[in-house]
Chains A and B, each alone.
Chain A
């Protein structure tokens, strides 16, 4: 029996196998472009532009760097790429992820490893670093929830944990045209790679 197609042609021309992704088929331009067009919150956010995964990734990198000022460049790069698999599998909101079960996680893990190897990061990053990135991710989610997704602060506290009120006031969720976000994401990536 013929196997169903499990690859996608990316804009760079790369043919990425979704089930067995190889680092060689990964390009940052495809990631930046894709993530700039993937909406978080299933697009249920206020404003004229979606809040993209690329914009979220930039914010998480800033939060991570602010909270871990001595973190090596490679972990800043890992923070920038923490949702990179979503350029292939899309942003699935948490309740859907939970409903789909562990196979989604495995797909995500395979892509993460391939993306990390592509950019010279260890295929698996240390648990302690993962936790630091997750903490920054939650802060970003809290801010997004309250500022653009219609959550009250009390609800956001419940789902994402309380955050430092000063931090909450100092950080603003930006809504911009995808092309601006894509370019910033690519630039940030190049900057970090150059410093590695």
Chain B
């Protein structure tokens, strides 16, 4: 029997390489993630591991390999923070997202965050289900925000109140 062992800890500089690989696989898969262009290690460090408005960025390690990561950063709105989550394509539905959110929620509370915002593409069914399952509730929609190729897609805005 294969045991799945997932641990979650804060991301540090050297994690960038594996995070880029994971995110670029998700992008290349043509999925419905917020990003459309491949990432570089430098950009990963600047946007996810150490952005100026960082609260936390956690990585999940499943059987020794990076299987997901989740960012929480301060928003311009007072008391609000923004969340972003990525899980490896071959590690979906294994509870990795739940483990990441339990760490992120703890970080949010410690940092005094009141509300977490998740803004998701309307065609990202997995993402909508994931946040909905965690208790995020719809509060707004950005209508017809075009993708790089011009296709209009709504963005569903969900909130989680701590």
The verdict on A178 contacting chain B, using a C-beta distance below 8 Å, is: no
Number of chain A interface residues as a range: 20 to 34
Min CB–CB distance A85 → chain B (angstroms): 12
With a cutoff of 8 Å between Cβ atoms, the chain B residues found around residue A106 in the complex are 12-14
**Interface residues of A, dominant DSSP:** loop
In the complex, what distance in Å separates the CA atom of A20 from the CA atom of B107? 16
How many residue pairs between the two chains, A and B, have CB atoms under 8 Å in the bound complex? 65
Chain B residue nearest in CB terms to A114: B10
With a cutoff of 8 Å between Cβ atoms, the chain A residues found around residue B7 in the complex are 17, 20, 22
With a cutoff of 8 Å between Cβ atoms, the chain B residues found around residue A121 in the complex are 111
Are B52 and A126 neighbours in the complex by a CB distance under 8 Å?
yes
Are B9 and A122 neighbours in the complex by a CB distance under 8 Å?
no
Which of A23, A110, A122 is within 8 Å of B103, CB to CB? A23
Chain B contacts with A in 51-97, Cβ cutoff 8 A? 52, 54-57, 61
In the complex, what distance in Å separates the CA atom of A24 from the CA atom of B10? 11
In the complex, what distance in Å separates the CA atom of A126 from the CA atom of B14? 18
In the complex, what distance in Å separates the CA atom of A121 from the CA atom of B74? 12
The verdict on B26 contacting chain A, using a C-beta distance below 8 Å, is: no
Chain B contacts with A in 1-25, Cβ cutoff 8 A? 7-14
The verdict on B125 contacting chain A, using a C-beta distance below 8 Å, is: no
Number of contacting residues on B, CB 8 A? 22
In the complex, what distance in Å separates the CA atom of A120 from the CA atom of B103? 13
In the complex, what distance in Å separates the CA atom of A114 from the CA atom of B55? 11
Are A113 and B10 neighbours in the complex by a CB distance under 8 Å?
yes
A-B contact pairs, 19 of them (CB 8 A): A20-B7, A20-B61, A23-B103, A23-B106, A23-B110, A24-B103, A106-B12, A109-B13, A110-B10, A113-B56, A117-B106, A120-B110, A120-B111, A122-B54, A122-B55, A123-B10, A123-B11, A123-B55, A123-B57
Interface residue ranges, A against B (CB under 8 Å): 17, 19-24, 106, 109-110, 113-114, 117-124, 126, 196
Other 17 A-B pairs with CB < 8 A, given A109-B12, A123-B50, A123-B55: A20-B9, A20-B61, A22-B8, A23-B10, A23-B56, A23-B107, A106-B14, A110-B12, A113-B9, A117-B55, A117-B107, A117-B110, A119-B110, A121-B111, A122-B111, A124-B50, A124-B54
Interface residue ranges, B against A (CB under 8 Å): 7-14, 49-50, 52, 54-57, 61, 103, 106-107, 110-112
